[in-house]
């Protein structure tokens, strides 16, 4: 328990000096807490099990988080277990509380181990907490196996995909790096940060706004210019050019009682009339609306 010393010495002393509870005494305390909400009974029961919290917390000390914080989270799990514990089921409180303590500590590690959140499903949690152990075990049992085969075996054992294993292995193998970290410390590229080299191919906000304004303006020009068309020309042009699913020449010909060649001629004439109206009102630049 030496590695627990970073936890406040007062808590450690109280936990170590707290007496172990016999089954009957534990049962009596649990009944007082459940039925009477006796805070002294709760305190006595949880303090007697803080050694269990510290023992479980010590198993997760290799994840780089302060053990004191792991103990605090384990204590939260212990209190949750006390709130849910049913003394009538004849189960020792330590047996019941172990799951809650471990789950609380594991959730805390998953939230704080990396700035990048990992999966929170039961399979992903099992992968996170068992990958290193299984990888080391399989490497000892079959040292000649390739990394790909080891990952396949781990995926089969934990019920996840091989790609999930590879991704988690990469995350566990490298620490987080800030985007504000310098690219080089040797003087070359001085002042440049990692974030400066992240490319974003999406348009900038000013281009998005400009495109939206231009689009609205062109749409208004087009609506105004279509006033030069007669009803049949407008119907054909809308069906052929403006609707989400354009109609075929043959379909329009059947609807209008004319040949598909005649429909094509009317469409071309409507486009020429529309183009002339737009150019006369707004200049050559607006012909792009007909593209």
Q: What is the pLDDT of residues 11-35, one digit of tens each?
A: 667 777 777 888 899 999 999 998 9
Question: Over the stretch 166-195, which tens digit does the pLDDT of each residue have?
Answer: 777 766 665 555 556 666 655 555 567 666
Domain ranges of the chain: 2-112, 122-173, 205-290
- For residues 209 and 105, what is the distance between their CA atoms, to the nearest angstrom? 47
Determine the pLDDT at residue 127.
72
**How high is the pLDDT of residue 119?**
55
- Would you say 118 and 176 are in contact if contact means Cβ atoms under 8 Å apart? no
Map residue 187 onto helix, strand or coil. Answer: coil
- State how far Cα 236 lies from the chain centre: 49
Please state which of the four CATH numbers 3.30.210.10, 3.50.50.60, 1.20.1050.10, 1.10.10.10 is assigned to the domain occupying 205-290: 1.10.10.10
DSSP 60: T
What pLDDT sits at residue 84?
92
Q: Per-residue confidence at 77, pLDDT binned at 50, 70, 90?
A: very high
Q: Which fold has domain 2-112?
A: 1.20.120
State the CB neighbour count (10 A cutoff) for residue 131. 20
pLDDT at 178: 57
Structure tokens at 90: 């004849």
Q: 0.85 cut: is pTM over it?
A: no
What's the pLDDT tens digit per position in 110-153?
Answer: 887 765 555 556 666 777 776 777 777 776 777 777 777 777 88
The mean pLDDT of 59-65, rounded to a whole number, is 83
């Amino acid at each position: 328990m030496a590695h627990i010393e970073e936890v406040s010495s007062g808590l450690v002393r109280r936990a170590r000096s707290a007496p172990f509870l016999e089954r009957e005494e534990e049962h009596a305390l649990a009944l007082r807490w459940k039925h009477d909400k006796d805070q002294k009974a709760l305190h006595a029961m949880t303090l007697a099990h803080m050694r269990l919290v510290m023992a479980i917390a010590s198993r997760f000390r290799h994840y780089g988080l302060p053990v004191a914080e792991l103990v605090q989270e384990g204590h939260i799990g212990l209190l949750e277990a006390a709130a849910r514990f049913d003394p009538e089921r004849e189960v020792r409180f330590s047996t019941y509380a172990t799951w809650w303590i471990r789950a609380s500590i594991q959730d805390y590690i998953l939230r704080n181990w990396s700035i990048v959140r990992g999966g929170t499903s039961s399979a992903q949690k099992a992968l996170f907490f068992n990958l290193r152990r299984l990888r080391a075990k399989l490497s000892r049992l079959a040292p000649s196996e390739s990394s790909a085969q080891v990952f396949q075996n781990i995926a089969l054992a934990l019920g996840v995909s091989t790609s999930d294993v590879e991704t988690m292995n990469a995350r566990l193998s490298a620490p987080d790096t800030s985007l504000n970290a310098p690219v080089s410390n040797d003087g070359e590229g001085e002042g440049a940060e990692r974030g400066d080299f992240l490319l974003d191919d999406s348009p900038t906000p000013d281009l998005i706004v400009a495109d939206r304004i231009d689009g609205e303006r062109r749409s208004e020009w087009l609506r105004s210019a279509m006033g030069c068309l007669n009803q049949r020309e407008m119907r054909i042009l809308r069906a052929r050019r403006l609707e989400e699913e354009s109609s075929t020449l043959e379909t329009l010909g059947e609807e209008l009682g004319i040949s598909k060649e005649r429909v094509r001629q009317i469409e071309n004439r409507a486009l020429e009339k529309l183009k002339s109206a737009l150019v006369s009102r707004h200049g050559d630049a607006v012909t792009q609306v007909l593209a």
